[in-house]
Amino acid sequence: MQAQSNRWGGELVRFENVGLRYGAAPETLTDISFSIMPQSFQFLTGASGSGKTTILRLILQSLKPTRGMISIFGQDTAQLDKDGLTLLRRRMGIVFQDFRLLDHLTIYENVALPFKIRGRMESSYRAEVIELLKWIGLNDLIDVKPPVLSGGEKQRTSIARALVSQPELLLADEPTGNLDPVLAERLLRLFVELNRSGTAILIATHDIGLMEQIRGARRLVLQNHHLQVEG
Protein backbone atom coordinates (compact mmCIF):
# COMPACT_ATOMS: atom_id res chain seq x y z
CA MET A 1 0.00 0.00 0.00
CA GLN A 2 1.38 3.40 -0.98
CA ALA A 3 1.87 5.99 1.77
CA GLN A 4 -0.67 8.76 1.49
CA SER A 5 0.18 12.45 1.74
CA ASN A 6 -0.24 13.90 5.23
CA ARG A 7 -3.28 16.16 5.02
CA TRP A 8 -3.02 17.00 8.73
CA GLY A 9 0.06 19.18 8.56
CA GLY A 10 2.56 16.79 10.10
CA GLU A 11 0.75 15.20 13.05
CA LEU A 12 1.73 11.64 13.84
CA VAL A 13 -1.66 11.01 15.44
CA ARG A 14 -4.93 12.91 15.19
CA PHE A 15 -8.25 12.09 16.89
CA GLU A 16 -11.32 14.04 15.81
CA ASN A 17 -14.50 13.69 17.90
CA VAL A 18 -13.81 10.02 18.53
CA GLY A 19 -16.44 8.10 20.45
CA LEU A 20 -16.43 4.51 21.64
CA ARG A 21 -19.19 2.36 23.08
CA TYR A 22 -19.68 -1.34 23.59
CA GLY A 23 -23.06 -2.55 22.38
CA ALA A 24 -25.96 -0.49 23.72
CA ALA A 25 -24.04 0.73 26.79
CA PRO A 26 -23.24 4.44 27.28
CA GLU A 27 -20.08 5.68 25.57
CA THR A 28 -16.81 4.75 27.21
CA LEU A 29 -15.09 7.65 25.42
CA THR A 30 -16.92 10.74 24.19
CA ASP A 31 -15.74 13.35 21.66
CA ILE A 32 -12.04 12.66 22.11
CA SER A 33 -9.95 15.13 20.09
CA PHE A 34 -6.18 15.59 20.30
CA SER A 35 -3.05 15.34 18.18
CA ILE A 36 0.51 14.13 18.69
CA MET A 37 3.23 16.04 16.87
CA PRO A 38 6.64 14.69 15.83
CA GLN A 39 9.29 14.74 18.58
CA SER A 40 6.72 15.67 21.25
CA PHE A 41 6.50 14.24 24.78
CA GLN A 42 3.18 13.73 26.53
CA PHE A 43 1.56 11.80 29.33
CA LEU A 44 -1.88 10.22 29.10
CA THR A 45 -3.34 10.16 32.59
CA GLY A 46 -6.55 9.55 34.49
CA ALA A 47 -7.98 7.28 37.14
CA SER A 48 -7.87 3.51 36.81
CA GLY A 49 -10.50 2.47 34.27
CA SER A 50 -10.77 5.92 32.70
CA GLY A 51 -9.71 4.67 29.27
CA LYS A 52 -5.94 5.15 29.03
CA THR A 53 -5.27 1.69 27.61
CA THR A 54 -8.29 2.07 25.32
CA ILE A 55 -6.76 5.21 23.77
CA LEU A 56 -3.52 3.32 23.10
CA ARG A 57 -5.45 0.45 21.51
CA LEU A 58 -7.26 2.93 19.27
CA ILE A 59 -3.92 4.35 18.13
CA LEU A 60 -2.66 0.84 17.43
CA GLN A 61 -5.95 0.04 15.69
CA SER A 62 -6.44 -3.13 17.72
CA LEU A 63 -9.72 -1.41 18.60
CA LYS A 64 -11.95 0.57 16.23
CA PRO A 65 -13.91 3.69 17.25
CA THR A 66 -17.69 3.79 17.13
CA ARG A 67 -17.59 7.24 15.56
CA GLY A 68 -15.21 10.04 14.70
CA MET A 69 -11.95 9.86 12.77
CA ILE A 70 -8.44 8.71 13.62
CA SER A 71 -5.44 9.59 11.46
CA ILE A 72 -2.07 7.90 12.02
CA PHE A 73 1.01 9.20 10.20
CA GLY A 74 -1.32 11.19 7.95
CA GLN A 75 -3.48 8.24 6.94
CA ASP A 76 -7.16 7.86 7.72
CA THR A 77 -7.25 4.54 9.55
CA ALA A 78 -10.74 3.79 8.20
CA GLN A 79 -9.13 3.48 4.75
CA LEU A 80 -6.25 1.19 5.75
CA ASP A 81 -5.98 -2.40 4.56
CA LYS A 82 -4.10 -5.08 6.50
CA ASP A 83 -0.77 -4.39 4.79
CA GLY A 84 -1.08 -0.66 5.35
CA LEU A 85 -1.79 -1.19 9.03
CA THR A 86 1.25 -3.46 9.36
CA LEU A 87 3.48 -0.77 7.85
CA LEU A 88 2.13 1.86 10.26
CA ARG A 89 2.69 -0.34 13.28
CA ARG A 90 6.31 -0.88 12.28
CA ARG A 91 6.86 2.84 12.78
CA MET A 92 5.71 2.58 16.40
CA GLY A 93 7.18 1.02 19.52
CA ILE A 94 4.77 -0.39 22.09
CA VAL A 95 5.31 -1.22 25.75
CA PHE A 96 2.39 -3.31 27.02
CA GLN A 97 1.32 -3.66 30.64
CA ASP A 98 1.28 -7.43 30.29
CA PHE A 99 4.73 -7.51 28.62
CA ARG A 100 3.75 -9.86 25.72
CA LEU A 101 7.12 -11.57 25.61
CA LEU A 102 7.63 -14.87 23.80
CA ASP A 103 8.49 -17.47 26.44
CA HIS A 104 10.41 -19.74 24.06
CA LEU A 105 12.85 -16.96 23.12
CA THR A 106 15.71 -15.56 25.21
CA ILE A 107 15.73 -11.95 26.37
CA TYR A 108 18.16 -11.14 23.56
CA GLU A 109 15.92 -12.82 20.98
CA ASN A 110 12.80 -11.04 22.29
CA VAL A 111 14.48 -7.64 22.07
CA ALA A 112 15.95 -8.36 18.63
CA LEU A 113 12.61 -9.58 17.27
CA PRO A 114 11.64 -6.30 15.48
CA PHE A 115 14.87 -6.50 13.47
CA LYS A 116 14.40 -10.19 12.67
CA ILE A 117 10.83 -9.62 11.46
CA ARG A 118 12.11 -6.98 9.06
CA GLY A 119 14.64 -9.41 7.61
CA ARG A 120 17.84 -7.77 8.87
CA MET A 121 21.01 -9.82 9.25
CA GLU A 122 21.92 -10.43 12.90
CA SER A 123 25.42 -9.07 12.33
CA SER A 124 23.89 -5.66 11.62
CA TYR A 125 22.06 -5.34 14.95
CA ARG A 126 23.59 -7.70 17.53
CA ALA A 127 25.95 -5.12 19.07
CA GLU A 128 23.14 -2.56 19.22
CA VAL A 129 20.81 -4.95 21.04
CA ILE A 130 23.48 -6.01 23.54
CA GLU A 131 24.43 -2.39 24.26
CA LEU A 132 20.80 -1.52 25.01
CA LEU A 133 20.42 -4.56 27.27
CA LYS A 134 23.53 -3.49 29.19
CA TRP A 135 22.21 0.05 29.60
CA ILE A 136 18.89 -1.21 30.86
CA GLY A 137 20.59 -3.56 33.35
CA LEU A 138 19.86 -6.90 31.70
CA ASN A 139 23.30 -7.80 30.33
CA ASP A 140 23.65 -10.73 32.76
CA LEU A 141 20.32 -12.19 31.59
CA ILE A 142 20.79 -12.09 27.81
CA ASP A 143 20.40 -15.86 27.38
CA VAL A 144 17.62 -16.28 29.97
CA LYS A 145 14.00 -16.90 28.96
CA PRO A 146 11.02 -14.90 30.31
CA PRO A 147 9.37 -17.55 32.53
CA VAL A 148 12.15 -17.25 35.15
CA LEU A 149 12.27 -13.43 35.15
CA SER A 150 10.79 -11.13 37.78
CA GLY A 151 8.04 -8.70 36.85
CA GLY A 152 10.52 -5.82 36.73
CA GLU A 153 12.89 -7.76 34.49
CA LYS A 154 10.05 -8.62 32.12
CA GLN A 155 9.03 -4.96 32.06
CA ARG A 156 12.55 -3.84 31.18
CA THR A 157 12.75 -6.46 28.42
CA SER A 158 9.45 -5.20 26.98
CA ILE A 159 10.74 -1.63 27.08
CA ALA A 160 14.02 -2.57 25.39
CA ARG A 161 12.13 -4.34 22.59
CA ALA A 162 10.02 -1.23 21.99
CA LEU A 163 13.03 1.10 21.96
CA VAL A 164 15.56 -0.92 20.00
CA SER A 165 14.47 0.18 16.53
CA GLN A 166 14.16 3.87 17.53
CA PRO A 167 10.50 4.25 16.47
CA GLU A 168 8.91 7.49 15.32
CA LEU A 169 6.27 7.09 18.02
CA LEU A 170 6.58 5.23 21.32
CA LEU A 171 3.44 4.18 23.21
CA ALA A 172 3.98 2.99 26.78
CA ASP A 173 1.25 1.65 29.08
CA GLU A 174 2.30 2.11 32.74
CA PRO A 175 5.94 1.36 31.80
CA THR A 176 7.30 1.87 35.33
CA GLY A 177 4.54 0.04 37.17
CA ASN A 178 6.73 -2.96 38.07
CA LEU A 179 9.93 -1.04 38.75
CA ASP A 180 11.51 0.43 41.88
CA PRO A 181 11.84 4.26 41.99
CA VAL A 182 15.54 4.28 41.08
CA LEU A 183 15.09 2.11 37.98
CA ALA A 184 11.90 3.97 37.05
CA GLU A 185 13.84 7.26 37.04
CA ARG A 186 16.59 5.69 34.94
CA LEU A 187 14.11 4.43 32.37
CA LEU A 188 12.41 7.81 32.25
CA ARG A 189 15.80 9.32 31.36
CA LEU A 190 16.04 6.77 28.54
CA PHE A 191 12.64 7.93 27.25
CA VAL A 192 13.86 11.54 27.39
CA GLU A 193 17.01 10.66 25.44
CA LEU A 194 14.94 8.81 22.85
CA ASN A 195 12.66 11.85 22.57
CA ARG A 196 15.64 14.13 22.03
CA SER A 197 16.80 11.86 19.22
CA GLY A 198 13.48 12.40 17.44
CA THR A 199 10.92 9.92 18.80
CA ALA A 200 7.53 11.20 19.97
CA ILE A 201 6.56 9.73 23.35
CA LEU A 202 3.11 8.97 24.79
CA ILE A 203 3.20 7.43 28.28
CA ALA A 204 -0.04 6.26 29.89
CA THR A 205 0.32 6.52 33.67
CA HIS A 206 -1.44 7.54 36.87
CA ASP A 207 1.90 8.23 38.60
CA ILE A 208 1.93 11.96 39.41
CA GLY A 209 5.54 11.80 40.63
CA LEU A 210 6.64 10.35 37.32
CA MET A 211 4.92 13.09 35.34
CA GLU A 212 6.41 15.85 37.49
CA GLN A 213 9.92 14.75 36.52
CA ILE A 214 9.40 15.98 32.94
CA ARG A 215 8.87 19.72 33.00
CA GLY A 216 6.78 21.08 30.19
CA ALA A 217 5.47 17.69 29.05
CA ARG A 218 1.88 17.92 27.89
CA ARG A 219 -0.76 15.99 29.82
CA LEU A 220 -3.79 14.40 28.22
CA VAL A 221 -6.23 13.93 31.10
CA LEU A 222 -9.14 11.49 30.87
CA GLN A 223 -12.08 12.17 33.17
CA ASN A 224 -15.77 11.30 32.92
CA HIS A 225 -15.31 9.81 29.42
CA HIS A 226 -13.83 13.08 28.08
CA LEU A 227 -10.28 14.28 27.52
CA GLN A 228 -8.67 17.57 28.49
CA VAL A 229 -5.30 18.75 27.21
CA GLU A 230 -3.02 20.48 29.73
CA GLY A 231 0.20 22.23 28.76
Distance CA 204, CA 184 (A): 14
What is the reported pLDDT for 207? 85
* Residue of 226, 172, 180 whose CA lies nearest to 202: 172
Percent of the chain scoring above 70 in pLDDT: 96
pLDDT, one tens digit per residue, over 17-58 is 999 998 888 899 999 999 999 999 999 999 888 999 999 999
Average the pLDDT over 187-199 and give the result: 88
**pTM for the model:** 0.87
Extract long-range pairs of 80-88: CB within 8 Å, 24+ residues apart: 80/1, 81/1, 83/1, 84/1, 85/61, 87/1, 87/3, 88/61
Contact 46, 32 (CB under 8 A): no
What is the reported pLDDT for 180? 82
Instruction: Report the mean per-residue pLDDT for the chain.
Output: 89
Domain ranges of the chain: 103-166
